[in-house]
Amino acid sequence: MTIDPAVVEENEGKLAKVLDVYEARLSQSQEDVAREAIRHALKALKKRHLVEEGAHTPAYIALTRPIISQGSEWKEKAENLEVELQQCYKAQSRLSEQLVVEVAESRALKASLQEKETAIAEFEKELTQTRDECSQLKKDLEEKIKALELVMSEHQELKAQLEQMTIKAKNAEAENKMLVDRWMLQKMQDAERLNEANALYEDMIERLKASGLEKLARQQVDGIVRRSEEGAEFFAESTIPSVCKHRINAHEGGCASILFEYNSGKLISGGQDRSIKLWDTSTGSLSTNLPGCLGSVLDLTITHDNRFIIAASSSNNLFVWEVNSGRVRHTLTGHMDKVCAVDVSKVSSRHVVSAAYDRTIKVWDLQKGYCTNTIIFHSNCNALCFSTDGQTICSGHVDGNLRLWDIQSGKLLSEVAAHSLAITSLCLSRNGNVVLTSGRDNVHNLFDIRTLEVCGSFRASGNRVASNWSRSCISPDDNYIAAGSADGSISIWSIPKRDIVSTLKEHTAPVLCCTWSGLGKPLASADKNGIVCTWT
């Protein structure tokens, strides 16, 4: 029996395919070695088949007969095996692709792992630094706590001292109030004695009138003859103004202060243009211009001998001019903010008082040219004036209170809540017993300076105070009050009738100040545009 070479080759092919499948299933690391071994095994098998072909041919022929009969069945099995082999190849390709993807993912994960390990190392380094900082902060906190405990203990001690000082202050306040009450009682007694003296003096004046000395009687001021270096002050009966006699373009940028010379119709004005001007009210012409002011003029006053004009300036200074020469005699420095109010003593021309927005009131000696006393208070002062005896200062403050100060000691004598808003103006009456206060609450009050009791209250529906330094005034005969308004009008009240007797309208801008001539007329007013009007 002979072996069919075709069958042998077919079997070898199948075996090679099986071996290839087997080789594919081997791990990647042993694949090459396995292939070489298989090749050697195939060569050896071929040789063996060739050697044994002759010996086994009879047996092969005998065996092939049943094999041939089963060839179709084996063929089907081989085809099935080939189909399975193809499926194995496909599965192998899919596994290879999956292996490539997994290898790529593994590499990516390895890189990510390295990055995370690097980040963890950095975080560990930052954690170490943070722990060091935390320990340092903990030490600092302990030191701060110790310092805080020390400060708290000091605070407790200071609190105890403050309580003791508060008790002492209350006791001192009570003593001060008692002294003020005694002082007020003494002033009232002095006022009663003064009234008795005035009554005696009026009786003497009646006798002098009978003797023909009428001129001396006209010079009396509420029973007291006040004399300056140039003669007695003369006050005539005031008239109710109704007609604008002159409209003067006085200053650029506004005029905040005007006043008349004593016993004269000459008007003095100061404005935002840093100038002081003197006007002849009979003609409305400019007579003198006083240069030298370094800031806006907020308030003016003049000595009773008409020799010196003092201006309060926004440059934090006071300027004193000699009227005859027109030159600056003194520049009073010492305030740390704009000076908003000034007044000169009615007893002598030596003492001047000023107030500024540095919360101070200063007393000046004009002969020496320096400050002699400084009063410090928590509320800024907008307006002030001297009493008739020259020993007391009246001040109106931003908190709405009217206060009285002793000029020698600088102590607060008494105070009263005069207005609900800031006081803008103070004007002392001719007899010195009544002071007019005006406030941003649009109310004008009369206070008895001896008792600080309200003697009268005046207001009008259209009258509104224009600024913190709006100045109102009392007529020389103490019968009328004049006050400007933000709408440009001027209201005139009768003090005895407690009612408005006239409303003057000429200004087109808010009226900032009004002043009455000591001769009884004219009345002068100034507005925010620098226009000055005289009224008769």
Do 385 and 506 belong to one domain? yes
Do 301 and 170 belong to one domain? no
Provide the pLDDT for residue 215.
47
Provide the pLDDT for residue 24.
61
Helix (H, G, I), strand (E, B) or coil at 293: coil
172's torsion region: left (phi>0), alpha (psi -120 to 50) or beta? alpha
Any residues with CB less than 8 A from the CB of 82 and at least 6 apart, and which?
17
Least confident of 121-135, 190-204, 246-260: 190-204
Do 189 and 250 belong to one domain? no
pLDDT surpassing 90 at residue 532: yes
Provide the pLDDT for residue 137.
93
- Does any domain span residue 223? no
419 or 234: which carries more pLDDT confidence? 419
- Does any domain span residue 209? no
pLDDT surpassing 70 at residue 202: no
Query: Which pLDDT band holds residue 348 (cuts at 50, 70, 90)?
Result: confident
Query: Which pLDDT band holds residue 73 (cuts at 50, 70, 90)?
Result: confident
Q: How many domains does the chain have?
A: 2
State the virtual CA torsion across 30, 36, 42, 48 in degrees, nearest 10: -110
43 or 247: which carries more pLDDT confidence? 247
Q: How many CA atoms lie within 13 A of 433 on its CB side?
A: 14
Residue 353 domain boundaries: 244-535
pLDDT tens across 77-88, in order? 888 888 888 888
Report the predicted TM-score, pTM, of the whole model to 2 decimal places: 0.58
- Pairwise CA distance, residues 85 & 82, whole Å: 5
183 or 489: which carries more pLDDT confidence? 489
Q: Alpha helices, DSSP H only, in 325-484?
A: none
CATH number at residue 506: 2.130.10.10
Do 520 and 381 belong to one domain? yes
Do 475 and 378 belong to one domain? yes
365 or 18: which carries more pLDDT confidence? 365
Do 162 and 283 belong to one domain? no
Do 374 and 444 belong to one domain? yes
- Does any domain span residue 220? no
pLDDT surpassing 60 at residue 67: no
Do 172 and 268 belong to one domain? no
Do 322 and 447 belong to one domain? yes
- Does any domain span residue 484? yes
> Residue-wise over 78-115: b if at least 16 C-beta within 10 A, else e?
beebeeebeebeeeeeeeeeeeeeeeeeeeeeeeeeee
pLDDT surpassing 70 at residue 233: no
Provide the pLDDT for residue 50.
73
- Does any domain span residue 118? no
Mean per-residue pLDDT over the chain, rounded = 84
- Pairwise CA distance, residues 467 & 455, whole Å: 25
Q: How many CA atoms lie within 13 A of 347 on its CB side?
A: 10
- Does any domain span residue 469? yes
Provide the pLDDT for residue 285.
93
pLDDT tens across 99-151, in order? 888 888 888 999 989 999 999 999 999 999 999 999 999 999 999 999 999 99
Work out the percent of the chain whose per-residue pLDDT is above 70: 81
From first CA to last CA, the distance across the chain in angstroms is 166
Do 323 and 395 belong to one domain? yes
43 or 392: which carries more pLDDT confidence? 392
Do 273 and 386 belong to one domain? yes
Do 188 and 251 belong to one domain? no
- Does any domain span residue 498? yes
pLDDT surpassing 90 at residue 48: no
Residue 275 corresponds to which amino acid? S
Angle (deg, nearest 10), helices 57-69 and 71-210: 60
Q: How far is CA 254 from CA 106, 366, 405, 529, in A?
A: 89, 29, 32, 4
pLDDT tens across 435-475, in order? 999 999 999 999 999 899 999 999 998 899 999 889 999 99
Please provide residue 307's backbone torsions phi and psi, each rounded to the nearest 5 degrees.
-90, -35
Cβ(28)–Cβ(91) under 8 Å?
Answer: no
The token pair that represents 76 in the structure block: 């089907």
- Does any domain span residue 15? no
